[in-house]
Amino acid sequence: MKLSKKQARLRRATKFRAKNAERGVERLAVHKTSQHIYAQIISSCGTKTLASASTLTTKVKNGGNVEAATKIGAEIAKIAKKAKVTKVAFDRSGFKYHGRVKALADAARDGGLDF
């Protein structure tokens, strides 16, 4: 039986979460739609959100482009520093590391997060 694209993406994302839960490291989870991008830092046990940012909460003219992702990456890094989180695992939720996801990760690294 062949999996749909969404089922395959969800399976890869679940595998990543299970692997990093064993390591005991917070994770920077990213979700994107055609109009918005969301980022949140989740505790190592997976039960608590430590920091979050999205194009809905920040003043961004168009939330579906690389510039917006860069702003969200910088914003999540700033919020994470306030929450005293410096080391995270990057959970791209099965999305390709390209375009907006890459821009968000690069901006978060520049903001001081260690992947």
Six-digit token string for 78: 């700033």
Please tell me whether residue 80 adopts helix, strand or coil conformation.
helix
Strand ordering across the sheet containing 26-32? 49-54, 37-42, 26-32, 88-91
Domain-located, residue 40: yes
Q: Which residues pair with 38 in a beta bridge?
A: 31, 54
Domain presence at residue 106? yes
Residue type, 99: G
Q: Which CATH number belongs to the domain containing residue 92 in this structure?
A: 3.30.420.100
Residue 58 in any domain: the answer is yes
Domain assignment of residue 101, yes or no? yes
> Is 6 part of any domain?
no
pLDDT per residue as tens digits for the range 27-72: 999 999 999 999 999 998 888 999 999 999 988 889 999 999 999 9
Asked if residue 78 belongs to a domain, the reply is yes
pLDDT tens-digit series, residues 81-113? 999 999 998 988 888 899 999 999 999 999 999
100 beta partners? none
> What's the structural domain count of the chain?
1
d(CA 57, CA 26): 22
